[in-house]
């Protein structure tokens, strides 16, 4: 799990979206993320995604549908 340290944005992250919790949780094992140097960052939670361009109003992505999001961060990336 993450140690909650802030980074400068250079750490490599992959976020997986799933309609159900179990597929999002199993992705770590299915893709052997640990062997590739990744760890789960935070909790797997349901989220609605929006996009904002410039100073305009945000618009829903995926037609406002809620997905479980699992973010994996590569251990040791970005910081010397």
Averages of pLDDT over each 10 residues, the chain, 80 residues: 50 94 92 92 95 94 96 74
What is the pTM (predicted TM-score) of this model?
0.73
- How many CB atoms are located within 10 Å of the residue 24 CB? 21
Angle at 77 between CA 71 and CA 80, to 5 degrees: 150
The pLDDT of residue 8: 56
The pLDDT of residue 54: 93
């Amino acid at each position: 799990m993450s140690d909650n340290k802030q980074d400068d944005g250079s750490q490599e992250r992959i976020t997986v979206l799933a309609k159900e919790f179990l597929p999002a949780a199993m992705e770590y094992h299915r893709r052997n993320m640990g062997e590739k140097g990744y760890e789960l960052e935070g909790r797997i939670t349901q989220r609605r995604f929006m996009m904002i361009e410039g100073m305009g109003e945000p618009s829903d992505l995926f037609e406002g549908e809620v997905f479980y999001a699992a973010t994996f961060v590569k251990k040791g990336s970005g910081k010397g």
